[in-house]
Structure 1
Amino acid sequence: MSNLTPREIVSELDKFIIGQSDAKRMVAIAMRNRWRRQQLPPELRDEIAPKNIIMMGPTGVGKTEIARRLAKLAGCPFFKVEATKFTEVGYVGRDVESMVRDLMEIGINLVRKEEMEKVKVKAEKHAEDALLDILLPSSKPKQPGMGFFNADEPAEQEVKPAADQSSTREKFRKMWREGKLDEREVEIEVTVQGGGVEIMSMPGMEDMGMQVNDMVSKMFPGKKKTRKVKIREAYDILIQQESDKLIDMDNVAELARERVEQGGILFLDEIDKIAGNQEGGGSANVSREGVQRDLLPVVEGCVVNTKYGMVKTDHILFISAGAFSYAKPSDLIPELQGRFPLRVELTSLDKDDFYRILTEPQNALTVQYKALLETEKLTIDFSREALEEVAFNAQKFNDETENIGARRLYTIMEKILSDLSFEAPDRSGDSIVIDKVYVQEQLQDVIEDRDLSRYIL
């Protein structure tokens, strides 16, 4: 990510997301600014705050997908949470600081995975040796004074078993590498979490609950348990165990904390639902404003206590999104508005966009369905006219019922292909071209019955 220019970031996003060029440009600039900030002297670097973003637009136009793809492209800790999950402190619901703890957990897993890759070769070697120890328990030559020893036995007989053992071990190693032992079963010791005690914390007191749970887990260490598994599975378990021995978790926590603080992204979805000017009573508006006030210090920059240490939120990038159909960004409290200086509006999708969504992205729905049915040896293909008909109907249903954007394509495609999906095992080896007439036949009942289309599509 550090080598990608804004133009290259947009180009990568174009592979998965159709349209919305303004939003792509804005998030690309925000990500590049993070790289630029890292190049500055430390005294100036700490003064530059992240440019948080509000994305506005109807559901199903790509707001969440832009943030998700951006995080995957950047390889940085990313966590998505709905703002409606939070409630004002003192009410039943999640504490706003919990999203920073969740982000830290994701950062730990991300760094741990990278560290495991670094020690992979050494872990595989150790795991192979451990596996051979299980297959062929070592029988060391007996020494005087250790266990039972017969002085009348010739000395060469004491050494011979070790030589035989070494030869047999290498034969087993060769058979294992050639895959001849994969189906054989062995017994292996695994660690299971002990205690099984989970302390539930009161709303707004997650810190205390987290600390008590951590203390209880240390009081009840993991127990050893013997499992009988196939050698291939045993090898994977041993690699995991050996990797854990080679990785310094204190170092992992330190690296993860730095990465979360300097490169973490928190995606706040449905932020419009906590804006004040909405349908509902006055008390509901008070509660929503309370959530905003709880969010404010986290967005502004504070220190959150996690089980891996204190995490500063000053330079975490916050990307928020909402339809803003009933509320406006100006309905948020002024302090929170000021912390989201960048605003971009995403446009609604039309039938041309739907057609492009069905054909251009690397993970297009047509590609997914072809691959799924190919597993049953059923080959399907879509004519251009068929996909144009799907796109036309998607726009039509969005206009006439509820506009759910590109998500409408999922329901329509599933309706069209439901019969084929059911019959696929019985039609192995067939090759089918889905044309415009087939699409119209499958959608005929919901096209004719408007009330039915509201429930099905």
Structure 2
Amino acid sequence: MKPPQPLRLDERPAIPTPRDIVERLSRFVVGQERAKRALAIAAYNHLKRTALRRTRRQVPIRKSNVLLIGPTGCGKTHLARNLAQILDVPFHVADATEFTEAGYYGKDVELIITELLAKAGHAVEEAQRGIVFIDEVDKIARRTQGHRSGVGSRDIGGEGVQQALLKLLEGREVTVPLDAAPHWSRQEAIPVDTTDVLFVCAGTFTDVFAYAAEGRGLGFGARDGRRRAARAIRQKDLLEYGMLAEFLGRLPVVVQLDELSQEELLAVLTGPPDAIVREVKELLLADGVELAFTDGALREIVRFATDRGLGARGLRGVVEEVVADLLFEAPERRGTRATVDAAWVRRRVDRIDPATLH
């Protein structure tokens, strides 16, 4: 009897290696090297697995769904968005808080696949090798104490949604509507197999962190400008938080992201091709206004974002408020040059409501 032949990928087009994926992610995402590597490995194996299954061969490779854990503004969604641009597969972003247990007012989880199918141009085979990013999964933690007290209670937006997502995460043929409109049960529906759909889930899990030294200077809540050192999250912590063991079991790759340091936030402001400072400079240059930021101005923006726990996500709102007057007056200031310094920033950030920047 001949030994089994090794799996060959020669017949398929070349796919990016994990190193290629990390290098391309690093052009747009500052820091978070562990998360980049974990996502790159999961994505590469996902592409290999789907390519091999297209040859109709039995492939003993199971998909590795990913759970990203980290504070607001650390880059979870940004990582997923840029991964979608690197990989030539359908990609959909869903918010876990939109869904409820089947039979209640709200979206059914099957609509995640409907929306992925739409991104694939309603090509079922393409959708079946796609990637789904589900944000805010910490918001569907079990909200009742029935598992401890023995008292049964429905949790239609928490435990019920986790239970409903199990079949999608594990990989099963599900019947989904062709349209995500209300009353989809009256519409045409088709079967889609989620066996090869890769799921990347993300959440802040803010309350799950335990801080050393009574919380001084450690954890995601610290605001001293230094690198935050939150301890590693264990599966036990997530279970106590309210996540189901069955749900976590279908997310074998767990990556804890770091809070960005002030130096990394400075790099976010100016480094990537889509950096907000580059963007506003281009906008003003289109009106003939040359804009410059001093180093002190950039550090003042970062300090404001750090003190208020806004993370990288809040930087855009701060910068747009700082240059709002210039953007308004730009058509009238053609041919001029403007310099934003630290004093300019301080005068304008004082009027910002941080609640509007999250």
Which one of the candidate residues 27, 33, 48 is aligned to 2:39? Answer: 27
Which one of the candidate residues 148, 159, 164 is aligned to 1:294? Answer: 164
Higher helix content, 1 or 2: 1
Give the CA deviation at 1:283. Answer: 4.8
The equivalent residue for 1:126 is none
The equivalent residue for 1:426 is 332
Q: Which amino acid aligns with 1:289?
A: E
Give the CA deviation at 1:12. Answer: 0.6
TM-score scaled by structure 2? 0.77
Higher relative contact order (CA 8 A, sep 6+): 1
Give the CA deviation at 1:410. Answer: 1.8
Give CA deviations for 1:47-67 in whole Å, capped at 9, x if unaligned: 422100000011111101111
Q: Is 1:436 the equivalent of 2:345?
A: no
> Gaps spanning 5+ residues in structure 2: where?
1-12, 146-150, 179-188, 209-236
The equivalent residue for 1:13 is 25
TM-score scaled by structure 1? 0.61
Which one of the candidate residues 64, 70, 73 is aligned to 1:60? Answer: 73
Give the CA deviation at 1:340. Answer: 0.4
User: Closer, same or farther in 2 for the Cα pair 1:362/1:437, shift >3 Å?
Assistant: same
RMSD: 2.5
Q: Which amino acid aligns with 1:346?
A: L
Give the CA deviation at 1:354. Answer: 1.1
Q: How does 1:358-377 map to 2 (within 5 A)?
A: 358-377=269-288
In 1, distance between residues paired with 2:131 and 2:256?
Answer: 20
User: Closer, same or farther in 2 for the Cα pair 1:409/1:282, shift >3 Å?
Assistant: farther
The equivalent residue for 2:201 is 320
SS at match of 1:344: strand
Q: Is 1:415 the equivalent of 2:321?
A: yes
Q: Which amino acid aligns with 1:80?
A: V
The equivalent residue for 2:247 is 336
Give CA deviations for 1:89-122 in whole Å, capped at 9, x if unaligned: 11101111111111111101xxxxxxxxxxxxxx
Q: How does 1:32-43 map to 2 (within 5 A)?
A: 32-37=44-49, 38-39=51-52, 42-43=56-57
Considering only CA atoms, is the larger Rg found in Structure 1 or Structure 2?
1
Q: How does 1:208-219 map to 2 (within 5 A)?
A: none
In 2, distance between residues paired with 1:287 and 1:372?
Answer: 42
SS at match of 1:29: helix
CA contact (8 A) 1:79 1:267 kept: yes
Q: Which amino acid aligns with 1:409?
A: L
Give the CA deviation at 1:2. Answer: 4.1
The equivalent residue for 1:102 is 115
In 2, distance between residues paired with 1:442 and 1:288?
Answer: 41
Q: How does 1:442-457 map to 2 (within 5 A)?
A: 442-443=348-349, 445-446=350-351, 453-454=353-354
Q: Which amino acid aligns with 2:25?
A: L
Aligned residue pairs, count: 298
Give the CA deviation at 1:81. Answer: 0.7
In 2, distance between residues paired with 1:33 and 1:381?
Answer: 44
Identity of aligned residues (%): 37
The equivalent residue for 2:216 is none
> Gaps spanning 5+ residues in structure 1: where?
109-252, 447-451
Give the CA deviation at 1:309. Answer: 3.8
The equivalent residue for 1:384 is 295
Q: How does 1:149-228 map to 2 (within 5 A)?
A: none
Give the CA deviation at 1:3. Answer: 3.1
Give the CA deviation at 1:389. Answer: 2.1
